[in-house]
């Protein structure tokens, strides 16, 4: 634990930090496994941000929020920190993830200050603290996501971070028009996809499909991404762990795949999850087609089949949210054909930790 009193007023953030310092608050690390009340405090705080920062976007349940903040989705080392005011009310928190498998020079931050406590220097104090923690772990860049034109984007720019490529979020309202177009879309895609069969499952992936599913996940490496960021390396264990953790926290995974009949191999996949904290929402995960199988409308085929699967397996899902790099023209064309409309843009912001930006002293 580092008291804010340790912040020396020698950098551009000094005036802001001193406001918080005057308030006499400490940033404290907590262990979510033994301190569930602090997890709940962070959860309440993060939920308070939603209507302001990302209205009309799916929220988390406490269970899936805890899976991320307490266990960490991908098994990477992570730290949770919280700051409360003199009355004990939580006024900021951050989750720092230190990727261990790829991107080992990066640290990823989720940093939140509730709307009614902003512009008082709390975010700056948390950021400086978080940057120091990342440096201690030998990280050279700190990455965080923010919506365009949001307080987060202004804050990141003011801190000296650099914006990455746009990630365009789109939402599909599943109405009668969409449902009515599905048979035609499916027939058009199927006509180009002779020799492939569609498989689907709800819940965890059967053991005998895990290796092949991991192989298709590797096709995500071709999707546009920020400079200096490595794609995830997928294997059966990673998928198994992720699916187990999320299932234990109430998240339901839906998968649709296209299998190449002659080879007996998966060629394309799309996955979506539902979360009890986001009733009515489907949250798109990956859609990928292996390079050798592209150009056969398999991406559209599996996404149409996903909508058909949801109609029977999760009929309460009426909205789907997805995000793609702005330059991912093929995926965007498929989403446009289905009827997705743009709902906003996020970017990753990178703070160079080797320079003076965000230093405590």
List interacting residues with ligand COA (CB under 6 A): 16, 49, 53, 111-113, 118-124, 144, 146, 150-152, 154-156, 158, 349
Q: Which is nearer to ligand COA, 120 or 229 (CB)?
A: 120
Closest approach of Cβ 91 to ligand COA, in Å? 8
Q: Which is nearer to ligand COA, 8 or 333 (CB)?
A: 8
Closest approach of Cβ 158 to ligand COA, in Å? 3
Q: Which is nearer to ligand COA, 14 or 63 (CB)?
A: 14
Q: Are 148 and 347 in contact (CB under 8 A)?
A: yes
Q: How far is CA 355 from CA 60, 245, 351, in A?
A: 35, 37, 9
Closest approach of Cβ 16 to ligand COA, in Å? 5
Tokens, residue 212: 């092949």
Q: Are 275 and 320 in contact (CB under 8 A)?
A: no
Closest approach of Cβ 55 to ligand COA, in Å? 12
- In this structure, what are the phi and psi dihedrals at residue 144, rounded to the nearest 5 degrees? -145, 150
Q: Which is nearer to ligand COA, 331 or 353 (CB)?
A: 353
Q: Return d(Cα 206, Cα 293) in angstroms, integer.
A: 23
What SS3 state is found at 316? coil
* Residues in CB range of 94: below 8 A, 6 or more apart: 80, 81, 109, 110, 111, 112, 126, 129, 130
Distance of CA 193 to the CA centre of its chain: 31
Closest approach of Cβ 323 to ligand COA, in Å? 15
Closest residue by beta carbon to ligand COA:
152
Q: Which is nearer to ligand COA, 112 or 296 (CB)?
A: 112
Q: Which is nearer to ligand COA, 168 or 338 (CB)?
A: 168
CB-side neighbour CA atoms (13 Å) of 66: 18
Closest approach of Cβ 243 to ligand COA, in Å? 28
């Amino acid at each position: 634990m580092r008291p804010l009193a340790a912040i020396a007023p020698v950098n551009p953030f000094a005036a802001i930090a001193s406001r918080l310092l005057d308030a006499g608050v400490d940033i404290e690390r907590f262990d979510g496994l033994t301190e569930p009340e602090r997890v709940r405090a962070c959860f309440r705080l993060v939920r308070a941000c939603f209507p302001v920062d990302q209205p009309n976007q799916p929220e988390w349940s406490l269970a899936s929020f805890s899976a991320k903040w307490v266990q960490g989705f991908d098994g990477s080392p992570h730290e949770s920190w919280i700051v409360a005011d003199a009355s004990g009310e939580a006024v900021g928190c951050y989750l720092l993830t230190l990727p261990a498998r790829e991107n080992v020079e990066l640290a990823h931050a989720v940093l939140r200050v509730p709307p009614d406590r902003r512009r008082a220097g709390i975010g700056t104090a948390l950021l400086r603290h978080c940057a120091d923690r990342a440096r201690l772990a030998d990280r050279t860049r700190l990455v965080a996501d923010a919506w365009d034109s949001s307080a987060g984007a202004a804050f990141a720019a003011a801190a000296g971070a650099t914006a990455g490529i746009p990630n365009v979020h789109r939402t599909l309202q599943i109405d009668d028009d969409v449902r009515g177009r599905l048979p035609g879309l499916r027939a058009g895609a199927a006509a180009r996809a002779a020799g492939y069969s569609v498989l689907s499952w709800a819940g965890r992936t059967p053991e005998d499909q895990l290796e092949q599913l991991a192989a298709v996940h590797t096709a995500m490496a071709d999707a546009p991404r920020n400079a200096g960021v490595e794609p995830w390396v997928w294997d059966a264990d990673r998928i198994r762990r992720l699916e187990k953790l999320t299932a234990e926290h109430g998240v339901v995974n839906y998968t649709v795949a296209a299998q190449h009949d002659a080879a007996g191999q998966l060629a394309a996949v799309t996955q979506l999850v539902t979360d009890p904290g986001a009733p009515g929402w489907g949250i798109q995960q990956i859609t990928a087609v292996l390079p050798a199988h592209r150009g056969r409308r398999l991406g559209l085929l599996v996404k149409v089949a996903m909508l058909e699967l949801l109609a029977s397996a999760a009929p309460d899902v009426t909205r789907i949210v997805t995000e793609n790099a702005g330059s991912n023209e093929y995926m965007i064309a498929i989403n446009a054909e289905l009827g997705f409309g743009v709902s906003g843009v996020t970017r990753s912001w990178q703070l160079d930790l080797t320079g003076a930006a965000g230093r405590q002293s």
